[in-house]
Amino acid sequence: MTFVEGPVTVTVPATSANLGPGYDSLGLALDLRDELTGEILTSEGLEVTVEGAGEGSVPLDESHLVVRSMRAAFEVIGKQPPGLRLHCRNRIPHARGMGSSSAAIIGGLVLARALVAGGELILDDDTLFRTAAEIEGHPDNVAPAFYGGFTIAGEDDASPTGSATHCFAVRTAVDPRISVVVFVPVVGVETKTVRGLLPETVPHADAAADAGRSALLVAALSDAPEHLYRATRDFLHQEYRRPAMPESLALVDELRADGVAAIVSGAGPTVLAFSSGVESAETTKLAARCPAGWTCHSLNVDIDGVRIL
């Protein structure tokens, strides 16, 4: 196998996981993209540059998440490059619940695969998705970042022979009328930290209610947006995370009190409200609810997932 000469660029979308009741399983790709350009160098060394989100804060060495993911792909393919140059143009805010880490992982894996001629013959899509889920630790963001649109993902049951757990992802329809408005707070929270706030077990009644709402959400997103408000009620994670993001939960409460289908995006603290059409009167009205100092984006659903330019 040989490396590709010259730079290769991939773009990868932001994602919103959970969407209310779909904890660790539902995810939606959004049209806000990071762009990664990689090039194989014939001499040894690693050159990483970052502009935008994470500039000045993410490491620029082997511990950089895109580089780690690229190394994982080269490992599976069985060929590490002599040297590597990577430039990241990041638009997805970090640690805000908009899937920046999944974008970095999927982007890195796809970029590395594209830098090896015939790389997809060894690292096929299924293996790539499973590798990404393993690095991220949960599959709900990596699925829409890779496939685009709305995805349902999860882990298969453990094999009786004790072989490695495998993840699955199914992409399903999204009504073209649906768009979102996201409200991004100034200060972020690390996903790992707020996963630690969740209890080991939940009441059976909560689990039952949540299962009903997440099933309804699949139908609502597919062609019944009038049910989105009811379908976005969560019973498994948002309330437990309130102490780490009280302003976000307060905004969710306020929006829901006015009948808006609002949720915490991913592990938070971004708040996402479902809407219909980015330029609509509804999104303009929603944008006016943005708390002072926060950033608001009106976004379409991304249907492409990761792309090689």
Ligand X SMILES: N[C@@H](CCOP(=O)(O)O)C(=O)O
Ligand Y SMILES: Nc1ncnc2c1ncn2[C@@H]1O[C@H](COP(=O)(O)OP(=O)(O)O)[C@@H](O)[C@H]1O
- Note the residues at the interface with ligand X (CB under 6 A): 17-18, 23-24, 97-99, 101, 138, 140-141, 191, 195, 237, 266-267
According to CB under 6 A, which residues from 224 to 263 bind ligand Y? none
- Answer yes or no whether residue 131 interacts with ligand Y by CB under 6 A: no
93 is in an annotated binding site: yes
94 is in an annotated binding site: yes
Q: How far is Cα of residue 262 from the mean position of the Cα atoms in its chain?
A: 18
C-beta of 94 vs 242, nearer to ligand Y: 94
Query: Smallest distance, Å, CB 217 to ligand X?
Result: 14
What token pair was written down for 153? Answer: 């993902």
Q: Using CB atoms, what's the residue nearest to ligand X?
A: 266
Nearer to ligand X, 17 or 301 (CB): 17
Nearer to ligand Y, 134 or 175 (CB): 134
* Contact partner at residue 23 from ligand X, ligand Y, none, CB < 5 to 8 Å by partner kind: ligand X
Is 144 a binding residue for ligand Y by CB under 6 A? The answer is no
SS (H, E, C) the chain: CCECCCCEEEEEEEEEEECCCEEEEEEEEEEEEEEEEEEEECCCEEEEEEEECCCCCCCCCCCCHHHHHHHHHHHHHCCCCCEEEEEEEECCCCCCCCCHHHHHHHHHHHHHHHCECCHHHHCCHHHHHHHHHHHHCCCCCHHHHHHCCEEEEEECCCCCCCCCCCEEEEEECCCCCCEEEEEECCCCCCHHHHHCCCCCCCCHHHHHHHHHHHHHHHHHHHHCHHHHHHHCCCCCCCHHHHHHCHHHHHHHHHHHHCCCCEEECCCCCCEEEEECCCCCHHHHHHHCCCCCCCEEEEEEECCCCCEEC
The reply on whether position 95 binds ligand Y by CB under 6 A is: yes
CB of 14 or CB of 84, closer to ligand X? 14
CA 28, distance to chain mean position in Å, is: 8
Neighbouring CB atoms inside 10 A of 247's CB total: 15
94 is an interface residue for ligand Y by CB under 6 A: yes
Which one of residues 30, 73, 104, 262 is an interface residue with ligand Y (CB under 6 A)?
104
Residue 97 in marked binding region:
yes
CB of 48 to ligand Y, least distance (A): 9
Which of 12, 29, 30, 66 is close enough to bind ligand Y by CB under 6 A? Answer: 66
Among ligand Y, ligand X, none, what does residue 238 contact (CB within 5–8 Å per kind)? Answer: none
> Nearest approach, Cβ of 237 to ligand X (angstroms)?
6
Q: Which stretch binds ligand Y (CB under 6 A): 100-108, 175-183, 204-212, 274-282?
A: 100-108
Residue numbers of the site for ligand Y (CB under 6 A)?
A: 34, 54, 58, 64-66, 88, 90, 94-101, 104, 190-191, 266
